[in-house]
Amino acid sequence: MEVLKDILELLGKGKELKITHLVYKANLSSNSIKSYMDYLIENNLIEQINNKKRNTFTITPRGMAFLKEFEKIRIFSESYGLNKF
């Protein structure tokens, strides 16, 4: 869950970022980031923007809401064993 927060925090600064930036800044390997990105896209927390030159990612309003509530959600999820990320 911490990794999800880190990715959202990076995107939450208002910039569109390429996957290579996220790999570098979130301190992840390029293989491991894919599952996290898939999860975030599936849950509409981030979205992929397909430009002609490059593919970038941006945070959605739902992602922002998640980020604001993150710490509470994390503790609540932990309490009831829902931290299956």
Partner 1 sequence: MVTGLSFGEFYGIDSLIELLIFAVSLQIAYYSNRIYKILKERDYKLLSLGFLFIGLSLLFKIISNLTILERIKIDDLYFLNHLFLEFGSLSITYLLSFSIYKFMYLIGFLFLFVMTTEIKNKKNIIMYIYLGAVTIFFSIYFNSLFHLTIALTLAMLTMNFYENYKKVMNRNTKTVFLAFFVMMFGHLFLLFSEDLPLLYIIGKITVLIGFASLLFNQIQINNEKKNKIGSPEGHSRTSRKGKRA
Q: Which residues bind partner 1 (CB under 8 A)?
A: 3, 5-6, 9, 12-13, 26-29, 32, 43-45, 62, 65-73, 75-84
Shortest reach from residue 51's CB to partner 1, in Å: 26
Considering the complex, state which of residue 54 and residue 82 has its C-beta at the smaller distance from partner 1. Answer: 82
Considering the complex, state which of residue 54 and residue 62 has its C-beta at the smaller distance from partner 1. Answer: 62
What residue type is 69 in one-letter code? E
Considering the complex, state which of residue 52 and residue 72 has its C-beta at the smaller distance from partner 1. Answer: 72
CB 40 within 8 A of CB 48: no
Shortest reach from residue 85's CB to partner 1, in Å: 9
**Residue whose structure tokens are 């490059």:** 54
First to last CA, the chain: 6
Sheet strand arrangement including 55-59: 17-18, 55-59, 46-50
